[in-house]
Structure 1
Amino acid sequence: MKDVLVIGGSYFVGRVFVEDLSRNPDYSIYVMNRGNVPLNIKGITEIKCDRHNMEAMCEAIPSKEWNAVVDFCAYTPEDIAMMISALPSHAIGHYVYISTSSIYEKTNNLPIGEEAAKLTGPQPGPHGDYAYNKHLAEEELKSQCTENNIPWTIFRPTFIYGKYNYAPREKYFFDLVQEGETIIIPDNELALFTFVSVWDVVRAIIECMGNGNAYTKAFNLSGEELISYSRFVDVLRIITGEHIKVEHRNINQIDAQGIPLPFPLDEHLIYSGALITKEIGFSYTPFIEGMSATYAWYKTKRSGRQ
């Protein structure tokens, strides 16, 4: 039996990860978080504890040889340092950290690979320190794991879509389709994005846990397909089977009217997710297939069956 300690795990990617891993009888899963959203999954041990309380963590976390620690909610280098300090270094077989593709500096050298320049400071805006702090957390993880001889792997997903997504991304469009509303998109066709499904993120984590080919590596998680707003709407038509009304407006109009489009209006966000394919043979779900599964889940949830 392999013991896995999950930090976070109640929301979106973490929740899907715990659900999927719980179906494998080879794993004994412990989930530590503040307990605001209990999972109530059979066979899962839930530990109610705040990761910022060192004394509480040392008391609450069982004394085990963890095959993997999977950290979904470290936002600062202090979060990483405290978690590793709370566990004996010999007890961590592999530290897996879910970071973000937002740690990279803006560049015209696309697609953005893992070796691209990283942020050197906080960015403008209300959450401008988020990505920079995630980068600092990555560096702390590398330092701590090197010092304590702990294998590590970092994941940097691009836009994630799928089951349990609480960000108003695909749901924003699904709601408009269900309500028969017109979808407004930019008249600028040049903004292109890459996406990754939540199921692919989870599968990547599981396939890398304990895999020596993934040790001391950071992986972007990003499908190959380049998606524009227009292509996104095309996919919506295919997966919903609905007639979708579309209006194109310029960026100034969209900004002035406060239309909450979830992706950038006039810049590319294109990442390369090829390294993980090269290193462990990982393959990505086609965008239409992933979005079809997401829409099916959305309809089930909307109908109140989940």
Structure 2
Amino acid sequence: MAIRVLVIGGSYFSGRVFVEEALKMPDADLHVFNRGNLPLRIEGVTEHVGDRERPGQIRDAIPDGEWDAVVDFCAYTPEHVETLLGNLRGSVAHYLLISTTTVYRKPLGLPVDESAPMLAGPQPELGEYAGYGYGKCLAEQAARRECKRLGIALTVLRPAIIYGYYNYAPRETYFFDRLRNRDPIVIPETEASLFNFIWVVDMAHLIWACIGDPRVFGEAFNLASPELVSYGRIVEALGRITGKDVTTQRLSVGEITRRKIPLPFPIDESLVYDGAKIDRLFGFEHTPFHIGLREALKYYLMIKRREAVVGEAQ
């Protein structure tokens, strides 16, 4: 019997990879709802076009019926959750909210697990991203209220730093751009910061594993590989992948700050999250970082070659 899944978002990055990976499952009936700015046009996926902030468009664009799961990749405010769940026609058995580890307060100890205190307000020190984590906190709270009111099972998934195919955020591409241009890769002179990541394909598989599983109902999970990574470790992985020495330029934190070099991760604090709760539940083993990074680099180079061909044609 087919599993009928409605994906909110699904055109970009982690949402798109989830759709592509779910299509490999023999029992997936996939529907995607978004504004249609980047149509998927993938065989086996039914696309519905509309704006999630407009109740009438939700009611009109998304067909009635029984949804085994709604996977929401782009709920950034409580209103996003309330408007969606309040206007979906038919029934929803399981709502999976893709949140973020940014919902946690600055930790006193590492790694950060799901019991850690959450934000109590915006983070002005983050500038234009001041409201992102707190908005996700409020979206989680709204999801709990709405799912309880409507009798829907809820699962909240909080990915750490996501990397891989279709990544539009300037994360791994910082390293790839410099590698491709044969520029030295600027990294901090001391390994003061550690991170852990989630490869976007691993994330897709964990989401699919959650769908309809009563063990995840009412739970929140971090999605994070246990493998710790530093700036130096990323450079080492690139050397291993390419088989070449990678030229680096190590600078002090103060000098990096003074020059306003846009490094993709913090340079003087660690972001380490505990994803063991969901890993234990499913017996999940994460893709080693150097393998995920290798696949991300292959994708990046493919896109650059494609852009070059288009540029020459013009």
- TM class, shorter-chain normalised? over 0.9
Q: Could you tell me how far apart the structure 2 residues matched to 1:84 and 1:96 are?
A: 12
Counterpart of 2:215 in 1: which secondary structure?
A: helix
Q: Could you tell me how far apart the structure 1 residues matched to 2:197 and 2:57 are?
A: 38
TM-score w.r.t. the length of structure 2 is: 0.94
Report what 2:261 is aligned to. 259
Matches within 5 A, 1:52-67: 52-67=53-68
What is the identity percentage for the equivalent residue pairs of Structure 1 and Structure 2?
Answer: 45
Report what 2:42 is aligned to. 41
Q: Could you tell me how far apart the structure 2 residues matched to 1:303 and 1:27 are?
A: 33
Give, in angstroms, the shift of residue 148 of structure 1: 1.9
- The count of aligned residue pairs is 305
Return 5+ residue gaps in structure 1 as ranges. none
TM-score w.r.t. the length of structure 1 is: 0.97
| Conserved? CA contact 1:214–1:280, under 8 Å | no
Report what 2:103 is aligned to. 103
Counterpart of 1:79 in 2: which secondary structure?
A: helix
Give, in angstroms, the shift of residue 172 of structure 1: 1.1
Q: Could you tell me how far apart the structure 2 residues matched to 1:71 and 1:222 are?
A: 19
Return 5+ residue gaps in structure 2 as ranges. 310-314
Amino acid at match of 2:104: Y
Matches within 5 A, 1:82-161: 82-88=83-89, 91-124=91-124, 125-161=127-163
Q: Residues 32-86 of structure 1: CA distance to partner in whole angstroms, max 9, x if unpaired?
A: 0000000010121111100011011111110010010010000000110111101
Q: Residues 85-127 of structure 1: CA distance to partner in whole angstroms, max 9, x if unpaired?
A: 0125x61011011100000000121100001000000001112
| Conserved? CA contact 1:67–1:94, under 8 Å | yes
Give, in angstroms, the shift of residue 241 of structure 1: 1.9
Report what 2:249 is aligned to. 247
* Pair 1:290-2:292 in alignment: yes
Report what 2:312 is aligned to. none
Pick aligned residue for 1:205 from 204, 207, 229: 207
Amino acid at match of 1:94: H
Matches within 5 A, 1:265-276: 265-276=267-278
Q: Residues 230-264 of structure 1: CA distance to partner in whole angstroms, max 9, x if unpaired?
A: 11111111112222111111111111212110000
Q: Could you tell me how far apart the structure 1 residues matched to 2:293 and 2:149 are?
A: 42
Counterpart of 2:63 in 1: which secondary structure?
A: coil
Report what 2:15 is aligned to. 14
Amino acid at match of 1:37: L
* Pair 1:220-2:222 in alignment: yes
Report what 1:301 is aligned to. 303
Q: Could you tell me how far apart the structure 1 residues matched to 2:24 and 2:226 are?
A: 29
Q: Residues 161-181 of structure 1: CA distance to partner in whole angstroms, max 9, x if unpaired?
A: 100000111111011111110
Counterpart of 1:275 in 2: which secondary structure?
A: helix
